[in-house]
Amino acid sequence: MRPTKAVVKLSALRHNLARVRQYAPQAKVLAIVKADAYGHGLLRLLPGLTDADGLGVLRINEALLLREAGYRRPILLLEGVFSADELHTASAHDISIVVHHQQHIAMLQSCNLAKPLSIFLKMNSGMNRLGFVPGEYEQAYLQLKACPAVAEINLMTHFATADDERGIVQQLQVFERATTNISAPISLANSASIIRYPEAHRDWVRPGIMLYGASPVAGTAASSFGLQPVMCFSSEVIAIQTLQAGQGLGYGQQYIAERETRIAVVACGYADGYPRIAPNGTPIGISGQLNQVLGRVSMDMMFADISNLPEVQVGSEVELWGDLVSVDAVAEAAGTVGYELLCAVAPRVKFEVIE
């Protein structure tokens, strides 16, 4: 069997969830598990999420999968529903929805549901993605308040710059001005806000990337927030080559040896989810020691210089990211974010779950 695998650690997930509680002890926790739990596997992680107060997903089939698995706590559809059929399904299975445009309200007003729905009413406070603009928000709330298909209403918005120096001040002021006359539970804080802005914690926090042990703040290591990586993505050395000075390596010959160089060929490539654009110098771990990627990542293989690691042989373990090499360090080298790499691990990679 090909050695590329991803090991998911439930103990690390539980640890990170506990860190959320330490940052926001008074708030309920809506753990965000969209995109198949950020590539980790929704049902694989479910046993590690028993201390969460609810789960946030994107698609209704994910919510139904959770209900079929016996999950009975709140589930929130983060983009709401896309049809009246989905609205009826949400009602039948006690699934909460985000309402972010007038068509959602019209749908609720016209549907005769088996059971009223819990709603999270979203404001566009500056992200300019989804939500009612501030001037329309109170009227949307009043419409929902009068709608028989609606049970509890929660207020929410999403911060665009919680992870950088601009922070949340401007959006928070917009939200607070627009909700002066509304009394309802509030959900504002994503991972970066949970860590950096206690004033945004309110009634529900929505941790995402921090649950998986990656950093929500660019340039700051996840470990500095007390987080542990949940996924260890690894493989093995499957061949060793020796380049002479002047010889090139791999497609495009993007690495040319300046001296005799011992090269490890690693069984992982972009078809496994490793970024093809990772340049020379991207960190990699071989036999428990930090090393660097060389040459162009191909579909099934990649390379590293092991000239100074004589103990490395065919079969030596390679960590692509995990405990030694953070996913954020690989992402930074490749010009992307840890979120993308975690979500991109391919179906052909074998997953294992450990405590």
Task: Let me know if residue 3 belongs to a domain.
Answer: no
User: 124 and 245 share a domain?
Assistant: no
End-of-domain residue from the set 188, 214, 240: 214
Catalytic entry in 9, 23, 122, 251: 251
Residue 218 has pLDDT above 90, yes or no: no
Q: Is 219 a domain residue?
A: no
3-state secondary structure of 130: coil
Out of 186, 214, 242, a domain closes at 214
Assess if residue 5 is contained within a domain. no
Q: How far apart, in whole angstroms, are the C-alpha atoms of residue 15 and residue 237?
A: 32
Residue 88's closest CA among 121, 57, 114, 118? Answer: 114
The size of the chain, in residues, is 355
327: containing domain: 231-354
Percentage of the chain surpassing pLDDT 90? 98
Largest CA distance in the chain: 77
Asked, for residue 224, whether it belongs to a domain, the answer is no
Q: Do 177 and 287 belong together in one domain?
A: no
pLDDT at 69: 97
User: Which of the four pLDDT bands, split at 50, 70 and 90, describes residue 215?
Assistant: very high
Q: 45-67 b/e with 16+ CB inside 10 Å = b?
A: bbebbeebebbbbbbbebbbbbe
Residue 236 confidence class, pLDDT cut points 50, 70, 90 = very high
Tell me which of 9, 23, 34, 255 is the catalytic residue: 34
Record the pTM: 0.95
Contact call for residues 333 and 278 (beta carbons, < 8 A): yes
Question: Does residue 226 lie within any of the structural domains?
Answer: no
Same domain membership, residue 169 and residue 247: no
Total domain count for the chain?
2
Quick one: pLDDT at residue 162? 94
Residues 26 and 131 in one domain: yes
Q: Tell whether 271 and 135 lie within a shared domain.
A: no
Is there a domain that residue 290 lies in?
A: yes
**Predicted confidence band at 224 (pLDDT cuts at 50, 70, 90)?**
very high
Give one word for 303, left, alpha or beta, with left for phi > 0 and alpha for psi -120 to 50. beta
Q: Which of 39-43, 96-100, 108-112, 348-352 has the lowest mean pLDDT?
A: 108-112
On whether both 187 and 255 belong to a single domain, the answer is: no
Q: Is residue 108 part of a domain?
A: yes
Across the range 183-210, mean pLDDT stands at 97
What integer pLDDT is reported at residue 5 of this predicted model?
A: 98
What's the rounded mean pLDDT across residues 167-178?
96
The pLDDT value given to residue 328? 97
Same domain (yes/no): 107, 30: yes
Q: How far apart are CA 185 and CA 201, in angstroms?
A: 11
CA-CA-CA-CA dihedral for 14, 20, 23, 25, to nearest 10: -90
Residue 35: its pLDDT value, please?
97
Q: Same domain for 45 and 122?
A: yes
Is 310 among the domain residues?
A: yes
Same domain, 64 and 203: yes
Give 292's pLDDT tier (boundaries 50, 70, 90): very high
The two structure tokens encoding residue 308: 């100074």
Q: What are the tens digits of pLDDT across the range 4-13?
A: 999 999 999 9
CATH code for the domain of 343: 2.40.37.10
Averaged confidence pLDDT in the chain: 97
Give which of 227, 203, 231, 232 is closest to 217, Cα–Cα: 227
The CATH code of the domain that includes 76 is: 3.20.20.10
Considering the domain architecture, whether residues 271 and 350 belong to the same structural domain is answered as: yes
Cα–Cα distance between 256 and 289 in angstroms, integer? 23
Q: How confident is the model at residue 115 (pLDDT cuts 50, 70, 90)?
A: very high
Let me know whether 238 and 268 are in one domain: yes
Is 137 annotated as catalytic? no
Active site residue 251: yes
For residue range 77-97, list pLDDT tens digits in order.
999 999 999 999 999 999 999
| Claim to verify: residue 258 and residue 158 sit in the same structural domain | no
Domain stops at, among 183, 214, 245: 214
Range 24-52 average pLDDT: 97
| pLDDT score for 217 | 94
